[in-house]
Chains A and B, each alone.
Chain A
């Protein structure tokens, strides 16, 4: 564990080099430990691939107290004890107008059905969020689905689009320009301020994509617009 400072109101804690599930779990546990200490003045703890950052309010926090508290944590024990995360199911209508690039995988010997099969039967780990509100940096994409970004990015990718960019898969909560290969679209509002949790997942959670028909897409979309679609999620606990 290395503690560094690059700005007045934040401590960055580096936990190593590896980007994997184990690292993510250590970071989430570390975040939980620090939050459990109820140190005054901490505004937020943000997890990324191999580090976490503690933002604090300069006028209500004592930096050295935060640092001392963090140092008192036994990082070797972070993988012990119970660990909980959510598995969030995102329905996706693959192909057609929603997924214009799904047939591009034929050059890798994969039919559209193969792509759907492989993409939707995997649990992806949310390493972190960023780029835009609710945009997950996911791990766990099948190597056979790795695909370089488009040479000419699209000016407009609709909100809800699910795609692949290089070794990553993910989805766009908001309309945006972008160069990802688009596989499909979810009717779920990935950001909805009417919901108790406007963003459905956080670092450490898992995302599973479920393939749906166009009819189901339209049904869910109508419900989502009314704020009445409830995304399926369950909590998993690992000892």
Chain B
């Protein structure tokens, strides 16, 4: 059975960890922007880390459970209520058939991931259920969710899960690897590393447009088109950098000053418009180590801890669910 969308929120899509292996045909990888929060929401439920989740941006939606189910949200703080009772982001909770799950505006961070135990039942396209709205591929009909949509979930059994996500405190430092045309920006490099850059309103799943000191490329800002990586910071004529993200075009023809380290992507994508970041340099080998250790930390449970906040609400739901299941 299923989860029904009552209100979708500002921009809510189905995502997993992305569509790899088809960039040579021009397919953007898409996928959860905050891969860590996506994985943690799934781990809270004992799911595979790549199970489909709903990515909600800035303002979450309202969903009706069309069956009993267990859900978890991780990522930005968007006050979740289940059947009218507040539930903390970063915990698993049982939902009874007919109850609604509501999310508020993001009070900390920008993107929240809602996972259901066992995952959503969605047919993958080229190996992934991630939605790429610009080409209308993947997820729920290739588009963002709308009121009335019904998402099928896979059958599950009642489960009681007792972990929560640890508090993750983030600063504004974004580490970057020197990019393809790093040398063209020698003159402005100090500026790039010393100044703050603000995330503008023209920022979405495709990329973050920044506002800060202008960067001028010696020899021009246009280059032959070549593949664009996650986190590539391109600088077109005009001098304001753009960080390319999950829904980016697979190739681009602007100079690239640097690439955001993959380990810092979760931190970056939880920034909102108006937030400021600053860049520091990291070598590619160190960045590789940082990313691998981050993934190991996520997988080894470093971000999970026992949930001792055993609220009346959750106990009620758990026991009610159990008795319901026994009937």
Query: Real complex partners, A and B?
Result: yes
- Over the window 106-141 of chain A, the binary record of Cβ atoms lying under 8 Å from chain B Cβ atoms (1 yes, 0 no) is 000000000000000000000011111111010000
Residues of B at the A interface (CB closer than 8 Å) are 20-28, 125-126, 134-137, 177-180, 224-227, 229-232, 249-252, 256, 259, 261-262, 284, 287-288, 291-292, 295
Q: A47 contacts the other chain (Cβ, under 8 Å)? A: yes
Q: In the complex, which residues of chain A have a beta carbon less than 8 angstroms from the beta carbon of B251? A: 48, 128-131, 137
Q: Which of A25-83 contact B (CB under 8 A)?
A: 43-51, 53, 55, 58-59, 63
Is there an interface contact between A6 and B177, defined as CB atoms closer than 8 Å?
yes
Given contacts A49-B225, A128-B251, A133-B26, whether A44 and B259 have CB atoms under 8 Å apart is no
Which residues of the partner chain A approach B134 to less than 8 Å between Cβ atoms?
132, 174
Report the count of interface residues on A (CB-CB < 8 A).
40
Query: Are A19 and B224 neighbours in the complex by a CB distance under 8 Å?
Result: yes
Q: Which of A4, A43, A48, A135 has the largest count of B CB atoms less than 10 A from its CB?
A: A48
Contacts of A129 in B (CB 8 A): 24-26, 250-251
Residues of A contacting B135 in the complex (Cβ-Cβ under 8 angstroms): 132-133, 173-174, 191
Whether A8 contacts B287 in the complex (CB less than 8 A), given A46-B250, A128-B251, comes out as yes
Q: Which residues of A contact B231 (CB under 8 A)?
A: 7
**Which of these, B21, B284, B295, contacts A7 with CB under 8 Å?**
B284
Segment among A84-92, A149-157, A198-206, A228-236 that sits at the interface with chain B: A198-206
Extra inter-chain contacts (15) besides given A6-B177, A6-B180, CB under 8 Å: A5-B284, A8-B288, A10-B227, A12-B180, A44-B24, A46-B227, A48-B251, A53-B226, A55-B23, A128-B225, A129-B24, A129-B25, A131-B249, A131-B251, A203-B24
A10 touches B229 (CB 8 A): yes
| A9 within 8 A of partner (CB) | yes
In the complex, the answer to whether A44 meets B23 with C-beta atoms within 8 Å is: yes
Contact A58 B26 (CB under 8 A): no
Residue of B nearest to A197 (CB): B25
Contacts of A193 in B (CB 8 A): 125-126, 137
B256 to chain A, nearest CB (A): 7
Inter-chain contacts of A48 with B (CB < 8 A) = 224-227, 251
Among A12, A58, A132, A198, which residue has its beta carbon within 8 angstroms of that of B249?
A: A132
Closest chain A residue to B249 by CB distance? A131
Whether the pair A51, B226 counts as a contact (CB closer than 8 A) is yes
Closest to B20 in A: A43
Asked if B25 contacts A131 (CB within 8 A), the reply is no
Contacts of A50 in B (CB 8 A): 224, 226
Residues of B within 8 A of A137 (CB): 225, 251
Q: Which residue of A lies closest to B299 (CB)?
A: A59
Q: List 24 A-B contacts (CB under 8 A).
A: A6-B179, A6-B180, A6-B259, A7-B230, A7-B231, A7-B287, A12-B226, A46-B23, A49-B225, A50-B224, A55-B20, A58-B291, A59-B295, A128-B225, A129-B25, A132-B134, A132-B135, A132-B249, A133-B22, A135-B26, A137-B225, A137-B251, A198-B25, A199-B25
A170-196 vs B, Cβ < 8 Å mask (1 yes, 0 no): 000110000000000000000101000
Which residues of A lie under 8 Å from residue B22 when comparing CB positions?
Answer: 44, 133
Closest to B287 in A: A8
A contact residues around B225 at 8 Å (CB) = 48-49, 128, 130, 137
Whether the Cβ atoms of B26 and A6 lie closer than 8 Å is no
| Residue of B whose beta carbon sits closest to that of A47 | B24
